[in-house]
Amino acid sequence: MSRSFPAAPVLDVAPLFGDDETARRATARDLVERFERDGAIVAVGMPEAEEMDTRAATMLRFFELDEADKLAVATRRNRPDSSHTYRGYVSTLEERRWAYNEMYDIGAERPFSLPPLRGAEMFAEPNLWPAREPAPGWRGAMLAYYGQLEHLGHAALRALCDQLGVSQAQLDARFGEGNGTLRLLNYPQRPEGLELTEGIPEALKADEERPQLVAGRHTDGCALSLLWQREAGLQAQAPDGRWQDIPRLPNSVSLHLGDVFEGLTGGRLRATPHRVVDGGGERRSIGFFVEPNPAASCAPFDGSGDAETRPGGDSYAALLLRRFSGYRGYEDYVPNPD
């Protein structure tokens, strides 16, 4: 089955970083309007944009490491004796369930404040770096890319909040510590005859209305996702239900709103559903996820919403603990704060 989809809009975000306040405000208005209409944008023109594809190609060479080198930086999901639960390498390649991928996460190399919750310390884990670099300059590329996407993500959040009447002080209270996750993703081509013990979830099955997928429709749990793809296939769903291709443009990333930002705005801006079409071969991509400070409240900026909170509180760390404690492979390592 072959279907064509319209392309998501492209936005030059350079004015968000310039001195022309009129141009900056016009771009901020465009950003809000396009999220309201289309759900996602493809950003071009950000600082150091000309370095993005080169850095990404270097970073993704992580997946060329020997299995032993990758397992040396694995989390407890794949190596129970690991010191880490949250940051590091995770693989589902041997589980023979519906997922067949591997990923590697790092976070910011700076201290964070944590709420007094058992298990919250996992969100301040130091990064696990491979003993042998996959390519010359690999770690430097990772850190430079992290800084580049963090700069873009926070500029986009500032622009959105300006248009929504959220003050800089309110934004800093939630995001001032600069929390975020950089994730490398690899979906190898599935071996011929691979039988997955739990079958393919309904959300990933092809039918007359949708293509075969490698990642089903979902929203991200962060505030803002910035996604780079080596192969085309990413799609985003607009608020009116239409699906759009995210075009694979040179030195670009797509921006998608997450569940946390939807909650912080009281639903004024909705999280972006997205999925990935199966192209039939290997697929590699990179995600950067802008997240609140672990101890920050995830209640709406305007103070609306239910005043009653769950026993573990409404911090971002509590939200993450609830989520991870329900994931298969983490139930023995991550306590539910409630």
CB 23 within 8 A of CB 123: no
Sheet architecture: strand order including 234-237 = 213-218, 274-277, 234-237, 243-245
Cα 109 to chain centroid, rounded: 18
Intervals of the chain under pLDDT 70? 1-3, 95-99, 190-211, 213, 305-308
- Residue 336 inside a domain? The answer is no
- Other C-beta atoms closer than 10 Å to the C-beta of 169 total 8
- Residue 268 inside a domain? The answer is yes
Task: Give pLDDT, residue 206.
Answer: 55
Bridge partners, 288 (sequence order): 182, 226
Secondary structure of residue 205 in the 3-state scheme:
coil
Task: Give pLDDT, residue 101.
Answer: 85
Q: Give residues with Cβ within 8 angstroms of 52, minimum separation 6.
A: 145, 148, 228, 251, 252, 253
Range of the domain at 23: 10-325
Task: Give pLDDT, residue 308.
Answer: 61
Task: Give pLDDT, residue 154.
Answer: 98
Per the structure, the count of domains in the chain is: 1
CB 292 within 8 A of CB 316: yes
> What CA–CA distance (Å, rounded) separates 273 from 38?
11
Q: Give residues with Cβ within 8 angstroms of 270, minimum separation 6.
A: 39, 239, 257, 262
Q: Which residue has the tokens 């699906």?
A: 243
pTM exceeds cut of 0.95: no
- Residue 93 inside a domain? The answer is yes
Secondary structure of residue 82 in the 3-state scheme:
coil
At 224, the amino acid letter reads L
Bridge partners, 289 (sequence order): 181, 225
Task: Give pLDDT, residue 191.
Answer: 66
- Residue 109 inside a domain? The answer is yes
Domain holding 264: CATH number?
A: 2.60.120.330
